Structure 1
Amino acid sequence: MSDFFGQLKMQSSDGKFYKTDVADVEQLFRLIQSIPSPKAEPFKLWLAEIARKRLEEVDDPEKGIERLMEYYHRKGYSVTWINQRLKSIEVAKDSNSWHID
């Protein structure tokens, strides 16, 4: 077994506990990137697209806000709710900057 993964005892359908390989999200993404198979290619392309979008958001934070608004809209939230949510995030961010150590 690779040091890449951890192992946890998990209950199987027969009721017994067996050591099972586990990984966090970052480890899974790294595993996908290392698979030399055409079947892994769609996942690799998706990871590259997500990384590109994230880098664009770092360069232009407004894109991140737009993405968040689209996400909430797809989940069925109203424009009023979305705007209130964004305002509450901004207020929380501002109030955190007031914290004095």
Structure 2
Amino acid sequence: MSEAELIFTALAELSTRQIAESVDATGMTANSAAAKSGGRIARKARLELEEQTGRKVVSADNLKPPASKRLKP
């Protein structure tokens, strides 16, 4: 992953955790809502950066090669 991808992932995780703590989320439904809110925050920040710089944040560096190209044991 690129540095920017790691930073935006950390922002999403931090936002999610803080939202869940602030609403005292318990259970799947409440934590899912907190995760969606945290993800929206990171997405908005990523899109704004991409708009300002004209460069994409998400790269292909973190993708596995297709199954046909992976080495088999």
TM-score of Structure 1 vs Structure 2, range by shorter chain: 0.3 to 0.5
TM normalised by structure 1 equals 0.29
Q: Structure 2-normalised TM-score?
A: 0.38
Which of the two has higher C-alpha Rg?
Answer: 1
